Copies of this chain bind each other. A is one copy, B any other.
Amino acid sequence: MAARQVVNSVRRVAIFGGTHGNELSGVFLVNHWLKHGEEIARPGIEVRPFITNPGAVEKCVRYVDTDLNRVFDSENLRSESNSNTYEVKRAQYINSIFGPKGSEDAYDVILDLHNTTSHMGATLILENSKDDFTIQMLNYIKNSMAPLSCYVLLIEHQRLKYATTRSIAKHPIGVEVGPQPQGVLRADVLDKMRSIIKHALDFMNYFNEGKEFLPCSLEVYKVMDKVAYPRNANGDCTAFIHKNLQDQDWKELKPGDPMFFTLDGRMMAYEGDCTVYPTFINEAAYYEKNQAFTITQKMTLCAQAIRCTPPK
């Protein structure tokens, strides 16, 4: 007989918008749900919509002082320095409400809403390949979104650490939908994000009602590395995403395939030693991080069956 995990019911869920203040789908959905909560209400679950970076939302910029989505590490969360940035102060405040990170008191699930300028479609971001509950949820969402594509990006990595806003929850889930320019709200992108949230909440509702979710396997794209833009001695970008690679997120990139072009007409090919699946191709926010795209590999995760602890 297959193993089965028995997990506590889901009691507290947060939906974060505005972690990046110019990613408008989440900003407008969360602001809408703050006034009209019926759509996200589910029996027995506290579902709390929350704007995480109101300072950045106000100015319609990614962040005020520093990227909020990278400061949820123990050092920043504990820092008592007077020179803490706006975002570090916000992180501590958010952690005090929805955390503390790593504790029993932390929220069960946080869904953090993001947009990208990359052609990634509907993407779910998973942080932990051992988290069967979240894998089951993402599998449910992915199947419910079909025939629309829905990709899962696994950001678990030895070296690359993210310290995301949602990481304070027991089960953190990033929702990343694109392409959408910064500072723009597109109806098609909004619809996809809204469907993802509906299916996520439905899953938690069925789970709490006692439905058993059978063992499943989930195709994910695991982050392997980041590819930088070529720069000259002055630090200026000297090459850009090649037209053959533009908008080709999640598609095969093979050694020898065009990767960058220069303004004087040269092509630079991908020189890795195996086929990879690029994503976050030409994301606006990553120019300052000098990141042209992210390389992933496809793999399959398996999750045990899960069922809720029977009600007392």
Chain A residues at the B interface, C-beta cutoff of 8 Å: 28-29, 31-32, 36, 60, 117, 179-188, 190-191, 236-237, 240-243, 246, 261, 263-264, 282, 284-285, 287-288
Contacts and interface: CB of A to CB of B under 8 A. Distances in A.
A261 B242 CA distance: 36
A264 B36 contact: yes
Among A179, A185, A241, the one with the most B-chain Cβ atoms within 10 Å of its Cβ is: A185
10 contacts: A28-B240, A31-B236, A60-B288, A117-B184, A181-B181, A182-B284, A183-B287, A185-B241, A186-B282, A191-B243
Contacts of A287: 60, 183-184
A186 B246 contact: yes
A157 B92 CA distance: 53
Contacts of A182: 181-183, 284
A242 B184 CA distance: 13
Nearest to A191: B243
Contact of A184 (B236, B263, B284): B284
A24 to B, nearest CB: 9
Contacts of A285: 183
Nearest to A242: B187
Nearest to A36: B264
Give chain A's interface secondary structure class: loop
Among A179, A240, A263, the one with the most B-chain Cβ atoms within 10 Å of its Cβ is: A263
Given A36-B264, A263-B32, A183 B284 contact: yes
A58 to B, nearest CB: 12
A181 to B, nearest CB: 4
Q: What are the 4 tightest A-B residue pairs by CB atom distance, in nearest-first order?
A: A181-B181, A187-B243, A183-B284, A32-B263
Contact of A185 (B29, B236, B240): B240
A188 B243 contact: yes
B188 A246 contact: yes
Contacts of A186: 241, 246, 282
A283 to B, nearest CB: 8
B183 A29 contact: no
A76 to B, nearest CB: 25
Contacts of A28: 237, 240, 263
Contacts of A32: 263-264
A36 B266 CA distance: 14
Nearest to A29: B263
A232 to B, nearest CB: 10
A213 B63 CA distance: 53
Contacts of A264: 32, 36
A28 B182 CA distance: 20
A57 to B, nearest CB: 11
Nearest to A181: B181
Nearest to A244: B187
